[in-house]
Amino acid sequence: MEWPACLDEFLSRMNTPRVVIDNAVCPTATLVKVDSARKHGVLLEAVQVLTDLDLSINKGYISSDGRWFMDVFHVTDPLGRKLTDDSVISYIEHSLTPGAAPRSGAAALDGLTALELTGTDRPGLLSEVFAVLADLGCGVVEAKVWTHNGRIAALIFIRDEDSGSPIEDAHRIRRVEARLRHVLKGHRDDVRGAKTTTVPSPSLTHSDRRLHQLMFADRDYERISSAEAASSSSSQPSISVQNWLERGYSIVNIQCRDRPKLLFDIVCTLTDMEYVVFHGTIDTDGDRAHEEFYIRHSDGSPISSEAERQRVIQCLQAAIERRASEGLRLELCAMDRRGLLADVTRTFRENGLSVTRAEVSTKGQMAINVFYVTDAAGHPADPKIIHAVIEKIGSKSLKVNEERPPPSCQKRPAGDEPAAGGGAGLFYLGSFVKRNLYNLGLIRSCS
């Protein structure tokens, strides 16, 4: 039996995401509307495109009906302004269509050797890793390093220092892996083990998502001690999970400090834990974020046990905390050279500084790196030590950058604060569905 031509066209349109970017509706933000046939991971794809452009998602509405979904995001650029750059708007539209080509940055990693590292974190570890790579003639082109709860995860893209070519010799790769595993194990037993893996760059998923996956697999969400958990409780996000059995949903309610890429980190974790978001709201007020999601497991069931509920809370908390590394932000911009990273991080180590997060990149002949540093105990670094390190490395190359939160799209009127705790979930379902009726094409204001 053949399908009518009109039905083929209808099905094709149904499965092709439609993207509408509207600057007329809200005076302070650009609306990005995405609607398509629902499939696992499609929400993450949309959020990933927006966050990769360093856009702030100030408000959002997620709604699905059967096999169809629609997401509406209120976004601003890094300066808190509406999107006016036609190239950015065109990129968003193109990237959310099937078969879109990867970003040029991702394509630039092709041909490099990718290393994945996990293990127990300790002061000076990153310095030792970069020293080993320099000693083995491996030039670091790109790298991302996260630390959380005593664990470290890193993605490092390397090439041969002399020829600039990929490192393809199997014996040499095994030697690099063995040396790095030895460094990661350190001088004490690591009950979870240190892991070093070489993977083909084209097979890598999105780098931030892969770091979440590495830390999740390393169980960084497990607190290493109750004392440490208590000491940091004041800064922990408030997360509750409850079931709405009549509708078959589990309701995840999150309230925490807002920051860039917060929504990506949350949706990434839910997706990789095989949960599907059917409905949700995202709202920011100043430096606070409130996010609520109505989820089911990929088999259609809600969370079925207290152990599973606690695990979801722990994993979401870890996902939020990983990128929110404490520490002073140091930015290095210098001519790239052999051993530059090893020298810089050795200077950090020799002055008692510990790197909690790092982003390393090269653009042409320039090295553009960001480090978040604390003292060896995880406390704020002494300004005198920071000054000495800057003088040692060079004040023209290394600078302190005090990060400031991006401007918020709007402020919530006084007296309109959401109720705290998981009990708010059932109340909010009615309100966000009502708001979605406006925002799925009919919204007239940003409030």
Q: Which residues, in sequence order, are CB contacts of 120 under 8 Å at separation 6+?
A: 150, 151, 152, 184, 186, 188, 190, 192, 194
DSSP symbol at 226: H
Annotation: CATH topology of 104-203+325-400: Alpha-Beta Plaits (3.30.70)
Buried b (16+ CB within 10 A) or exposed e, 349-370: bebbbbbbbbbbbbeeeebebb
Domain residue ranges of the chain, discontinuous segments joined by +: 16-101+228-324+412-439, 104-203+325-400
Angle at 376 between CA 145 and CA 178, to 5 degrees: 45
How many other CB atoms are there within 10 angstroms of residue 400's CB atom? 13
Contact 338, 134 (CB under 8 A): yes
| pLDDT at residue 387 in the model | 97
DSSP symbol at 8: H
CA nearest 210: which of 270, 260, 272? 272
| pLDDT at residue 325 in the model | 67
Q: Which residues, in sequence order, are CB contacts of 365 under 8 Å at separation 6+?
A: 335, 336
| pLDDT at residue 197 in the model | 82
- Work out the end-to-end distance of the chain between its first and last CA atoms, rounded to an integer number of angstroms: 51
Half-sphere exposure of 39 (CA within 13 A, CB side): 10
State how beta strands 328-335 and 366-375 pair: antiparallel
| pLDDT at residue 67 in the model | 76
Contact 109, 188 (CB under 8 A): no
Q: What are the phi and psi torsion angles at 396 (to 5°)?
A: -80, -20
Full pLDDT tens readout for the chain, 447 residues: 444 555 444 444 455 568 899 999 999 999 999 987 777 788 999 999 999 999 999 999 999 876 788 899 999 999 999 999 999 999 999 888 755 554 544 556 777 889 999 999 999 999 999 999 999 999 999 999 999 999 999 999 999 998 888 888 899 999 999 999 999 986 555 556 678 887 766 556 789 999 999 999 999 999 754 444 444 445 689 999 999 989 999 999 999 999 999 999 999 999 999 999 999 999 999 899 999 999 999 999 999 999 999 999 999 999 999 998 679 999 999 999 999 999 999 999 999 999 999 999 999 899 999 999 999 999 999 999 999 999 999 999 999 987 654 444 444 444 443 333 444 444 444 444 445 444 444 334 444
Residue 286 in tokens: 């100043």
Class of residue 186 by CB neighbours under 10 A (exposed 0-12, middle 13-18, buried 19+)? middle
Contact 255, 238 (CB under 8 A): yes
